[in-house]
Amino acid sequence: MLASILGQTQANGGGPYNVLKDLAAMGATFPLAAAGMVGEDDNGRWIREDCRVHGINTAQLHATKERATSYTDAMTVAGTGRRTFFHQRGANALFDVPHVDFRNSSARIFHLGYLMLLDTLDSFAPDGRTHASHLLEQALLAGLETSVDMVSTEHPQFREIALSALPYTHHLMLNEVEAARVLHRSIPADQPAALLSAASDLLGLGVRQSVTVHTEHGCASVTITGEKLHQPPCSSPRVTAREPPVPAMPLPPVCSMDCTSIFPWPSDCNWPSARRRPRWPIPHLPPGCARCPSAWPWRLSSGSGNRPV
């Protein structure tokens, strides 16, 4: 059976990277730093540069010639949105405890992801604990708050790896499939009571502050102080078509002002400054561009910003 590929895009991703980029996009006022392992290759250099332009410190994002930068092929079914991931661990497999030095960091929160995909950290030391648990313990001793995310995979030691890390984890985030593998029982994704019960049981296995179990039907969170919260899924409009791309044409002659001082241009844009595309939505057109709508295809809307037609 052959399936057709209707389109493709390329971007970086993964839990820690997404968290850092989201915080950068939200204008976080505290320092952001990445720690990990990439290959000494084009992808690795692109990731480091992308972090740099978004203000993310990469002093502890190491590069190696032994492995290529890790990557994932994410296959999405157009009709249903169902996704399947094919993952190449690459340099991530070499990431280990000595690669993170908390003494030279001003961080207050350490987020580790993903358990089950970091071969060296997921392996067991002679004392019977995983290297990941030792890394988390070092973060605790340095005064950091820890959070852990894991991934749904058929790891033969899934439960053992998770149990080793939980006592050194302040906040645990996982889905119902992962929770079921740790607890060795079925957890219905659409039953809030079952999700809250699973979160409570995981908290009882040593997690220090909170456990959040997320599903397509919502999420449930339990804290060490006894709070139990359930959040149903948020309703969002179904996207039926992508927004048209920004036309690659020069701005009209009437627009000679330096818009980059007013518009929130993407810092990673490679277009010349006079042709850069804005990050949507734009709150308003600058006064000097009052005549642009007649020559440049903007659709003006006071409620949703100005978007290209």
Residues paired with 57 in a beta bridge:
33
Residue 3 is predicted with a pLDDT of 86
| Helices and strands (H and E) in the chain: how many | 8, 12
Confidence of residue 280 (pLDDT cuts 50, 70, 90): very low
The rounded mean pLDDT for the chain is 83
- CB burial readout 149-172, b (16+ within 10 A) else e: bbbbeebeebeebbbbbbebbbbb
Comparing 295 with 76, the larger pLDDT belongs to: 76
Tokens representing 75 are: 């296959």
CB 205 within 8 A of CB 163: yes
Confidence of residue 106 (pLDDT cuts 50, 70, 90): very high
Whole-prediction pTM: 0.76
Q: Where in the chain is the domain with CATH 3.40.1190.20?
A: 15-231
Residue 240 is predicted with a pLDDT of 53
d(CA 178, CA 139): 24
Confidence of residue 236 (pLDDT cuts 50, 70, 90): confident
Residue 307 is predicted with a pLDDT of 37
pLDDT surpassing 60 at residue 305: no
Per-residue pLDDT tens over the stretch 152-208: 999 999 999 999 999 999 999 999 999 999 999 999 999 999 999 999 999 999 999
Residue 235 is predicted with a pLDDT of 76
The type of residue at 271 is: W
Share of the chain above pLDDT 70, in %: 76
Could you tell me if residue 305 is left (phi over 0), alpha (psi between -120 and 50 degrees) or otherwise beta? left
Return the CATH number of the domain spanning residue range 15-231: 3.40.1190.20
pLDDT surpassing 80 at residue 309: no
- Which value, to the nearest 10 degrees, does the dihedral of the CA atoms of residues 84, 33, 120, 131 take? -120
